[in-house]
Every structure is written in structure tokens, then in C-alpha cells.
């Protein structure tokens, strides 16, 4: 398959209309999209990404009107979040409509719904004239793509088209909130923070997997976000054995010498840079990446979640 690169959303949407799969920018990370109602096209996403079939996809809409076709019921908490935040880096899990094929939701009776804020994403979605299911546009297990070049690196020749936009604004995946029960539960942290959500629905909690419980959000159990290099979390007091091919990313200048160093001015900048830095390290043959931990509030909570997953998946 030849992968077309284009800057024109109309041209990219043509592939969707013909049952193809297209990578497109959003404010979080690049997504790999297909028409949610086209089972064959949705299957192509799982194949191209080598994504496990039990990992559900998020449906993206270009307008609020498109939400109705995806869900059988917009719950009261979801209604409040939609009014307060949409368009936003926020995914709401709702009961799915009968029209949505089970392949898109990995056999769940619920569907994640999001309206991206990125203008080019919404223009593309409007051109598609249908909601689009889109997981991150990387090979499964690799760091999420924050620019079109990262998508190209993973998926060139495996997908129909890449809509070339800017590097993504946030750099971490959307916050996922289960709105099907009385108490909204954050299944995945993101740029819309616990504090932001609690201002709208004060009961909102972060979901904690209890021992022996079936994981509520299947994607959470999969290996994620990992570069080839080993990832080690450190704080400012940590001792580091100085060897070759080591890299550092964090908020403060490290005392040791590293082959590659990225110092970020804020947790938001750190979140924005981290996946691209992982890929740069892999290209440079780095064997260990030291990541400085940050305070767990606001975007820092989501950043720490991704850093932990990147380090744990390699143990």
C-alpha cells in the first residue's frame, strides 16, 4: 500500500469515504481514523497498528450533533462535561447505540466519545461526514505520535493517508471519563485534570483497579508508551551510575553528564516533549532514559501515569 501525504482535509476524507484508514492530527496525539460504522475499515485499524482486539477505540466527532448516532443515552454527568468542555482533550464513555459495531468497542456495550479542539482535526471530521474511530496512530506499544513524521516512521505503507498538520499541542492522550454510572470515574488521566472535572461534577474520582477486579478500561492493561531504551524514573536526590548512551529528561539540570538532555520549563512542556524525546533517543541508540518525576497535580498526574507505564512495561 502506498501512503499518501497531504495537507488537505478534503483529500484525506476521500479515503475514509472509500473505506480506508487515515492518520490525522489532534491536540493530544495523532490519531488513526476509520468510519465508525464500517466494520471492514475499523478492522484495518487493528491490523495496521497490530493492536490487540480487546482494546476499544475512541469515536471522534466534528460537531455535537454527531454524538447522537453513537450513543443510546447521554447521561447527566456527560451532559455537564459536554457543556463545560467540548471541544476538548476529553473522552466520555457512554452507553453505545445499536448502530456502533462491536469491533469498534472491543465487544463493550459502551463507547468513548470525543470532540477534538484542533481546528484541522474538526475540519477533517466534518469532511468525513461521519464519526471517526481513532486510536493513536502508532504501532501498538510504541510511544504515541506527536508529529506526522512519527506516524510515518511507524505506519508508512500500512495506512492509506497521513493528513499533515503541526506537531500536537498537548502531547499526551485524552482524559477518559466513564460517565455510565452515578459517579464519573477517570479511567485515563490527561490534560483535562481531576481538578478541572471536579469543578463541574464534584463527585468525580480517579478509578483505581482493585485486586482481582476485571479492568474497566481494557486498554489500561496493555503495554504502552515504551521506547526501546530502558526508562528509569528518578528524583533530584537519585544517584545515577554514569555509563554510555544515557539520556535525561526533566525540569532541572542534572548534575551528571548525559549523551542527550532535555530540560523543560514546566510540566506542560515536559508532557509536550516526552514521547518525541523517547523516539529521538531510540533513533540515537540510547540504552537508558532517566526521567525526572514531577508533582502529581494538573497535567503532572497524567505525565506521571505515562512515565510509570513506560518504565513498568519493561520490567
Per CB under 5 A, residues contacting Mg ion are 136
Which positions lie near ligand AMP, rule CB under 6 A? 55-56, 58, 93, 105, 108, 110-112, 135-136, 173, 176, 187-188, 217, 219-220
The residue with its CB nearest to ligand AMP is: 219
CA quadruple 294, 300, 303, 304: dihedral, nearest 10: 50
Minimum Å gap between C-beta 235 and ligand AMP is 28
Angle between helices 267-283 and 299-312 (to 10 degrees): 30
For the beta sheet containing 260-263, the strands, ordered from the edge strand earlier in sequence to the opposite edge, are 230-234, 288-292, 246-250, 260-263
The site partner of 246 among Mg ion, ligand AMP, none (C-beta below 5 to 8 Å per kind) is none
Q: Which does 187 bind (CB under 5 to 8 A by kind): Mg ion, ligand AMP, none?
A: ligand AMP
d(C-alpha 154, C-alpha 27), whole Å: 20
CB of 91 to ligand AMP, least distance (A): 6
184 and 77 in contact (C-beta within 8 Å)? yes
112 binds, among Mg ion, ligand AMP, none (CB under 5 to 8 A by kind): ligand AMP
Cβ nearer to Mg ion, comparing 117 with 224: 224
Picked from ligand AMP, Mg ion, none, the partner binding residue 219 (CB below 5 to 8 A depending on kind) is ligand AMP
Q: Cβ of 202: how many Cβ atoms within 10 Å?
A: 7
Name the binder of 20 from Mg ion, ligand AMP, none, CB < 5-8 A by kind: none
* Shortest Å distance, C-beta 223 to Mg ion: 11
Nine-digit cell at 271?
508532557
Residue with cell 463545560: 84
Amino acid at each position: 500500500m502506498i501512503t499518501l501525504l497531504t495537507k488537505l482535509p478534503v483529500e484525506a476524507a476521500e479515503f475514509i469515504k472509500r473505506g480506508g484508514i487515515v492518520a490525522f492530527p489532534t491536540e493530544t496525539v495523532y490519531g488513526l481514523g476509520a468510519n465508525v460504522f464500517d466494520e471492514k475499515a475499523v478492522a484495518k485499524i487493528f491490523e495496521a497498528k497490530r493492536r490487540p482486539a480487546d482494546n476499544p477505540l475512541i469515536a471522534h466527532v466534528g460537531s455535537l450533533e454527531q454524538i447522537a448516532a453513537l450513543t443510546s443515552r447521554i447521561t447527566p454527568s456527560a451532559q455537564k462535561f459536554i457543556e463545560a468542555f467540548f471541544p476538548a482533550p476529553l473522552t466520555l464513555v457512554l452507553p453505545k447505540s445499536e448502530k456502533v459495531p462491536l469491533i469498534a468497542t472491543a465487544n463493550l456495550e459502551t463507547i468513548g466519545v470525543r470532540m477534538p479542539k484542533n481546528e484541522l482535526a474538526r475540519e477533517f471530521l466534518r469532511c468525513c461526514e461521519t464519526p471517526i474511530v481513532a486510536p493513536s496512530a502508532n504501532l501498538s506499544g510504541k510511544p504515541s505520535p506527536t508529529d506526522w513524521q512519527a506516524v510515518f516512521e511507524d505506519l508508512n505503507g500500512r495506512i492509506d493517508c497521513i493528513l499533515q498538520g503541526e506537531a500536537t499541542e498537548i502531547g499526551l492522550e485524552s482524559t477518559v471519563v466513564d460517565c455510565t454510572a452515578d459517579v464519573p470515574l477517570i479511567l485515563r488521566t490527561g490534560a483535562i485534570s481531576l481538578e478541572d472535572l471536579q469543578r463541574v461534577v464534584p463527585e468525580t474520582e480517579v478509578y483505581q483497579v482493585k485486586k482481582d477486579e476485571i479492568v474497566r478500561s481494557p486498554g489500561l492493561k496493555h503495554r504502552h508508551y515504551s521506547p526501546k531504551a530502558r526508562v528509569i524514573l528518578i528524583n533530584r536526590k537519585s544517584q545515577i551510575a554514569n555509563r554510555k548512551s544515557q539520556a535525561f529528561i526533566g525540569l532541572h539540570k542534572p548534575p551528571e553528564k548525559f549523551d542527550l538532555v532535555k530540560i523543560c520549563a514546566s510540566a506542560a512542556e515536559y508532557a509536550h516533549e516526552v514521547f518525541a524525546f523517547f523516539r529521538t533517543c531510540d533513533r540515537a541508540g540510547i540504552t537508558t532514559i532517566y526521567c525526572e518525576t514531577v508533582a502529581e497535580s494538573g497535567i503532572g498526574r497524567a505525565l506521571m501515569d505515562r512515565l510509570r507505564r513506560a518504565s513498568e512495561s519493561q520490567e
